[in-house]
Structure 1
Amino acid sequence: MPGVKVHPSCTESETFVGMDPSGRYGRYKELLGSGSVKRVYRAFDKQEGIEVAWNQVKLNNFIDDPIMLHRLHSEVILLRDLSHDHIIKLSAFWNDDVTHTLNFITQVCSSGSLREYRKRHKHVSMKAIKKWCKQILQGLDYLHSHHPCIIHRDLNCSNVFINGNTGQVKIGDLGLAAIVGRSHSAHSVLGTPEFMAPELYSENYTEKVDIYSFGMCVLEMVTREIPYCECESVVKIYKKVTSGVRPESLNKIKNSEVKSFIDKCIAHHPNARPSAAQLLKDPFFHDLL
């Protein structure tokens, strides 16, 4: 009406820069994160009235790489069929033939990755870290006991996400995960060097590689240092890992209980490492009961 002033806050609204084919999800311009494979945008689920993550992969980048295309689609297929409190949930996915992108909608964790969160918060009790560890192990136990078994293969603190207001953590980025049969063995070299178990390099391994990576995650959570940060190259990391030389940051841990727990997880031989189910029963977690 003429002469009626509308408060600015009443006209301010964010505009979607994209919609999914069903019209349920709207994508905002804000980028939540990006990596070598995908970009993640903030989005909104109009049906549920909640914020979500819109993951977008430019398929043109991998048109001549069928192996990478398979990995990308594997993440979507895996997530679609998984349901666990500590695994990022996928709710929709589709290919956009016009923009040549693979798009999928997942849960969003309000505080980002555990690595980012730990960098922001220096003063965290051991009890809080144990709670995070237990949740990660519950997620791993779910993956490893899944039929068929699922090996994450790239577990690290940048692939674990947290809701800071609840302390709930969730394992994400399953793009390098492998579905294995009864043998529980896989045969390709994949992962993040600082977190890769020695047997990964020999191309013959089981889900115990995730236990090794989990141990390195615990080390990073406690020290706030990425394992093997003393190494100047991937080659040097490889030499240390395969020869059984531990990260220097392990020596900074004075708590014998914590150091012993990490030692179990990063044992050089996979048979010496406990399973996720066994670790959940470890005395390390007794004070959480």
Structure 2
Amino acid sequence: MPSEIADSNSDSEHFVEVDPTGRYGRYAELLGSGAVKKVYRGFDQEEGIEVAWNQVKLRNFSDDPAMIDRLFSEVRLLKSLKNNNIISLYNVWRDKEKNTLNFITEVCNSGNLREYRKKHKQVSMKALKKWSRQILKGLEYLHNHEPCVIHRDLNGSNVFVNGNVGQVKIGDFGFAAIVGKSHSAHSVIGTPEYMAPELYEEDYTEQVDIYSFGMCLLEMTTLEIPYSECNTIAQIYKKVSSGVRPQALTKMKDCEVKRFIEKCLAQPRARPSASELLNDPFFDEIVEEENECSCS
């Protein structure tokens, strides 16, 4: 139990609950919620920093042991990943009394990239390239990890931002797959607008993340969800599987960005790796700036 300095201020916030070690406390404030979990603002008393307290009510999945297995897989996976552009996991435990799975992750102060981009509409292409480069660095780490990790659900809501320093990080690994030397996976899973065509065919590699990244860049650039012209998932599937690009891409006027996105959406064998994309001339200006900073 961390030593505490008494606070006599009656206006101070109180923890709703504390983890078994006594180190982490959870406040009532909800940072976000999805189909599977709720994310609350938390506090690390030992380090004096805010954290994200992720909580899953396991009773919601009592009839779905596969979902519970997947949640535990996400947490085990996160704990092994250490990279500046991947959300860090600090602690995990199961509360049997409340039947919840809890895990503490770092918190990004500006929320997810989709909401951040909507909030800040005037963003230069240089800034978008910086964000893109960081996402690719995260993907490069995942894809070169031993064993290889395929995220499988990369989109604007699963990338998080520290807006004060322009840092972005990939999170939400609930759909991630750990693959062996074959680098191939077979489950149809993800967010339809961002899913590569080969994902629907149930035979794919980590290159599906590159396709999703291309769609993320399209979303960042146009402020449109890809295939928003479609009304149903079936319509999206039909367009994706027949190679019809989203209307947002066909309307793009910036040829440089359009060409770069097209590379990401190419057929699997022609699609560049994250490492290859990081060396693309598209990022020359950013790389030069990074090199100048490291030399100064």
TM range (shorter): over 0.9
Separation in 2 of the partners of 1:165 and 1:254? 30
Q: Which residue of 1 aligns with 2:104?
A: 105
Q: Which residue of 2 aligns with 1:28?
A: 27
Q: CA RMSD in A?
A: 0.9
Q: Tell me if structure 2 keeps the 8 A contact 1:223–1:252.
A: no
Other structure's SS at 2:118 match: helix
Question: In the alignment, residue 100 of structure 1 is paired with which amino acid?
Answer: N
Q: Which residue of 2 aligns with 1:55?
A: 54
Q: Tell me if structure 2 keeps the 8 A contact 1:57–1:101.
A: yes
Q: TM-score, normalised by structure 2?
A: 0.94
Q: Which residue of 1 aligns with 2:166?
A: 167
Separation in 1 of the partners of 2:270 and 2:244? 16
Separation in 2 of the partners of 1:235 and 1:10? 56
Measured after TM superposition, the shift of residue 10 of structure 1 is 4.1
Question: In the alignment, residue 19 of structure 1 is paired with which amino acid?
Answer: V
- Structure 1 segment 97-176 matched on structure 2, within 5 A: 97-176=96-175
Separation in 2 of the partners of 1:252 and 1:244? 16
Measured after TM superposition, the shift of residue 252 of structure 1 is 2.4
Identity of aligned residues (%): 69
Measured after TM superposition, the shift of residue 66 of structure 1 is 1.8
- Structure 1 segment 54-73 matched on structure 2, within 5 A: 54-73=53-72
- Structure 1 segment 225-244 matched on structure 2, within 5 A: 225-244=224-243
Q: Which residue of 2 aligns with 1:3?
A: none
Count of aligned positions? 280
Other structure's SS at 2:157 match: coil
Other structure's SS at 1:11 match: coil
Question: In the alignment, residue 230 of structure 2 is paired with which amino acid?
Answer: C
Q: Tell me if structure 2 keeps the 8 A contact 1:144–1:150.
A: yes
Question: In the alignment, residue 282 of structure 2 is paired with which amino acid?
Answer: F
Per-residue CA deviation, residues 101-148 of structure 1 (Å, 9 max, x unaligned), is 100000000000000000000000000000000000000000000011
Question: In the alignment, residue 238 of structure 1 is paired with which amino acid?
Answer: Y
Per-residue CA deviation, residues 137-162 of structure 1 (Å, 9 max, x unaligned), is 00000000001100000000100000
Alignment counterpart, residue 272 of structure 1, candidates 270, 273, 282: 270
Q: Which runs of 5+ in 2 are unaligned?
A: 1-7, 289-296
Measured after TM superposition, the shift of residue 11 of structure 1 is 2.9
Per-residue CA deviation, residues 172-195 of structure 1 (Å, 9 max, x unaligned), is 001110000001000101000000
Separation in 2 of the partners of 1:27 and 1:209? 36
Separation in 1 of the partners of 2:259 and 2:149? 27
